[in-house]
Amino acid sequence: MRAANKTLHLPTSGAVSALFTLSQMDQRWLLISHHPKDTWMSPKIHLVDSLIQGNGLQAIADIEPGETVLIWRTGYTDRAGAMAAQQQGKGIMQWDENVFSYDAGGDDEPYAINHSCDPNTWMADAYTITARRAINIGDEITIDYGLFEMREDFISSWTCQCGTENCRGHVTGNDWKVPQLQQRYAGHFSPLINGWIQSSRISAPKD
């Protein structure tokens, strides 16, 4: 499996629509390419060689359930900025109706979080990763990539090596539709997917 800093911002969302002329996009890109870097990582974790794959994040102090572990902000922008970045060949990920991120390059430590099918963190909002349960010193910090992957044709090229009872083998863009996962992660998918799940329940036929 690849470390998450190599996968989180590479998918291109089909939701980005053509809103600007090329000249307008170029001007917009000049603004967003200098987006301030305010990504944050808890001092209770650090970068290590992962037992799962590649680099990973490990707890160096106990972390309580609900405690903020990571804040992802590098490359975050709105729909207009996402369209501009896409025109520059950058990968785009959508997190909420008007919250996107583009592949800003680099090797930010907070994005080096590996996948697990029974992770110890999940999403609190479009930016914030919190502890799903108590995390002990020495534990690797993990997240289920199915919490935010939503491309219908996506199937991970790697085989999951988390070794948990819940292991699905591969991550797909349709994992969020699985009722068991919806129940397990209720309210802790990306805001975009949370909205889709809520809408699907409202529109579901009643018995």
- Residue 15 pLDDT > 90, yes or no? no
Q: 3-state DSSP call for residue 59?
A: strand
- Distance between CA 118 and CA 161 in Å, rounded? 11
Q: 3-state DSSP call for residue 196?
A: helix
Q: 3-state DSSP call for residue 51?
A: coil
- Distance between CA 194 and CA 187 in Å, rounded? 6
Write out the two tokens for 34.
């200098």
- Distance between CA 63 and CA 73 in Å, rounded? 22
Please give the residue range of the domain that contains residue 78.
4-203
Write out the two tokens for 178.
């699985």
> What pLDDT is recorded for position 3?
36
Q: Which amino acid is at 76?
A: Y
- Distance between CA 161 and CA 61 in Å, rounded? 25
Lowest-confidence range among 14-23, 43-52, 135-144, 169-178?
14-23
- Distance between CA 86 and CA 101 in Å, rounded? 10
Return the higher-pLDDT residue of 195 and 12: 195
| Contact by Cβ (8 Å): 84, 20 | yes
- Residue 32 pLDDT > 50, yes or no? no
> What pLDDT is recorded for position 21?
39
> What pLDDT is recorded for position 28?
43
* pLDDT tens per residue across span 94-144: 899 889 888 776 557 888 899 999 999 999 999 999 999 999 999 999 999
Give the residue carrying structure tokens 């591969």: 170
CATH at residue 66? 2.170.270.10
- How big is the chain by its Cα radius of gyration, in Å? 17
* pLDDT tens per residue across span 132-191: 999 999 999 999 999 999 888 899 999 998 889 999 999 999 999 999 999 999 999 999
What pTM does this model have?
A: 0.78
> What pLDDT is recorded for position 202?
67
* Number of domains making up the chain: 1
Backbone angles phi, psi at 99, to 5 degrees: -125, 115
Bridge partners of 135, per DSSP, are 63
How crowded is residue 22: how many other Cβ atoms within 10 Å of its Cβ? 9
Give the residue carrying structure tokens 């600007």: 20
